[in-house]
Amino acid sequence: MLSRVGAAIVLSGVSLLGGLVFTGTPLAAVGRRLRELLERGRERARAREVGTTAEPAPGPPPRRERRRARTEPDLPIVELPEEPVEPAEPEPIEVPEIVRPAPRGGRYQLPPIDLLRTSPPSAGGGRDQEHQKEALERTFHTFGVPAHVTAAHRGPTVTLYEIEVEAGTKVNKVLSLADDIAYALATPDVRIIAPIPGRSAIGVEVPNKVRDFVMLGDILRSRVAKEDRHPLSVALGKDVHGRAQMVNLARMPHLLIAGATGAGKSSLINCFITSILMRTTPDEVKLVLVDPKRVELAHFADLPHLLVPVIVHPKRAAEALAWVVREMEQRYEVLAMVGVRDIDGYREGLAEGTLRIPPGQEDRVVDFPYLLVVIDELADLMMVAPREVEDAICRIAQMARAVGIHLVVATQRPSVDVVTGLIKANIPSRIALMTSSQADSRVILDMNGAEKLVGHGDMLFAPSTASKPVRLQAAWVTEKEIEQVAEWIRAQREPEYQASVEGLGRPPVEGEDELDGDDELLQQAAELVIRSQLGSTSMLQRKLKIGFARAGRIMDLLEERGIVGPSQGSKARDVLVTPEEWEEMRAAHSGGQTP
């Protein structure tokens, strides 16, 4: 009997100890629990003896809380790693209210930098970088490439990982793993730089899962922008190290921008123009804007910086380029007359009064502003007047740098019939945004790479002084910010256009009659073509009862006047002037005649 009782006691004790060990409950906690139960029993007995319904004394916490309170001081605390939090959507950017500009007629004031907002804080973290480093090194180890990651640089759009390989390892082994690296990192594509310029390392650019905003206000507030005060220095964006980048268009000296639809070409041009408006007065820089789409540069209409209203017709754009060529030649004549080599020496001599001005030529010596010609879509111009546009662009690109005239040409069709060999040869500085194929990338940069960009301002910048392009994230400016800047400027000055820039004020070619002057037959032909909107030589033969040779000569004169387009073989020519524009031209010419 005693053996059974003893065995039961021993078994109960072992079971109790096993339960305590399994649950991790210390013996002290068991003692506290027994004391609590005894105390609660005494309180209930006293309450029954007194027979009152008084509120019970504050009891111990609920069972779960008591257990947590008992066990927390004795159990080890393990901190679990935080789960990655999906970044919240950035708040919509609103431009703050600012003070009003100076009234018209007063001293010109540059727009305040408060008109431009800064970007929201970066949403990226370091956990992705560590995971991608491990994935890269695992990939190299799997394929037997002795390489390791030495550094990582996070930019707004991509992260650059520096890879070092052991001596004797061919770089092509890393290049051949591009698809495998993209698969391991779960990213659509990666770009491999072999080697990084100036470094004994290979670069692997991986798109960020969360991209950072790069606002125009960030770049113009940077130290680089404050130190570079040249009138043609414009905001470009940020590199893979997050550093602000400015570009001096006078040193390019001309720039070609190309990329697919939606790659950010027009946004980049808006940043260039807004940078100039924020940093220069209308007396320092003049603009000629060509916008065949009619909507991309509409925000900049009626600004005092414009030399002519925004040009939307391709034929008028070709005539404006011809005017720029004549302006370039006139500036060269003045520079040769006073004995200086470029516009910088001319301005310096004009400010110091050291120019050698021949007697009677004082009125020709004026301060030449920088002239920037921006063409938003080259393809439309090349369709209408390819020979004239190509010749004018090449002449300007070859000679205009010394007299302060510079070109920014953009297109979304970087094919060989738009960006011809002559244009490429004369515009050495280029920006390639995302392209749809390797062929388009080679047309712009003479190498592959632009097809791997991720769009929305992601670009490769290849200045004429660099051997390899640099990857940047272009700055962005909102339409509201552009409108605020434009309104500030319009409130101070009115535009002063030069009528001779567009074709309406084109001087007649020597030996030709005016369109509506002495040659009545030419006047009748022009009105007939415009009213019928049919540029046909045979129609002129029938209607005017003239021979084929004379009808062809009249059609050529109408093309030179900008009324019809170039010949298209057996097809009728395109008519470039509407009846309404024709009536306005006639009314303007009649009003300008002296009685």
Residue 505 in this model has a pLDDT that exceeds 80: no
Provide the pLDDT for residue 210. Answer: 87
Is the entire prediction scored with pTM above 0.75? no
Confidence bin at 461 (pLDDT 50/70/90): very high
Distances (CA, A) of 416 to 422, 440, 473: 10, 9, 26
Q: Is 568 exposed, middle or buried (0-12, 13-18, 19+ CB in 10 A)?
A: exposed
Confidence bin at 398 (pLDDT 50/70/90): very high
Q: Locate tokens 């708040």: which residue?
A: 91
Element (H, E) at 165: strand 158-165
Residues of the chain within CATH 3.40.50.300 domain(s) are 212-490
Q: What is the pLDDT of residues 265-277, one digit of tens each?
A: 999 999 999 999 9
Residue 456 in this model has a pLDDT that exceeds 80: yes
Q: What is the pLDDT of residues 516-539, one digit of tens each?
A: 333 678 888 888 888 888 888 888
Q: Considering the domain 212-490 in this protein, what is its CATH number?
A: 3.40.50.300
CB of 437 closer than 8 Å to CB of 451: yes
* Least trusted range by pLDDT, from 333-342, 376-385, 447-456, 553-562: 553-562
Provide the pLDDT for residue 125. Answer: 62
Confidence bin at 215 (pLDDT 50/70/90): very high
How much is the average pLDDT of 122-144? Answer: 83
Residues of the chain within CATH 3.30.980.40 domain(s) are 127-207
* Least trusted range by pLDDT, from 95-99, 205-209, 210-214, 259-263: 95-99
Class of the 510-592 domain?
mainly alpha
Confidence bin at 82 (pLDDT 50/70/90): very low
Q: What mean pLDDT is reported for the chain?
A: 81
Q: What would the two tokens of residue 51 be?
A: 């027979």
Phi and psi dihedrals of 449, rounded to 5?
Answer: 135, -35
Distance (Å, rounded) from C-alpha 130 to C-alpha 175? Answer: 22
Q: Report which residue type is found at 146.
A: P
Class of the 127-207 domain?
alpha beta
Q: What is the pLDDT of residues 581-591, one digit of tens each?
A: 888 777 766 65
310 Cβ neighbours under 8 A, 6+ residues apart: 289, 290, 291, 297, 298, 300, 301
Q: What is the pLDDT of residues 43-56, one digit of tens each?
A: 676 656 555 444 44
Confidence bin at 25 (pLDDT 50/70/90): low
Confidence bin at 444 (pLDDT 50/70/90): very high
- In eight-state DSSP terms, residue 299 is G
Residues of the chain within CATH 1.10.10.10 domain(s) are 510-592
Provide the pLDDT for residue 502. Answer: 60
How much is the average pLDDT of 564-585? Answer: 81
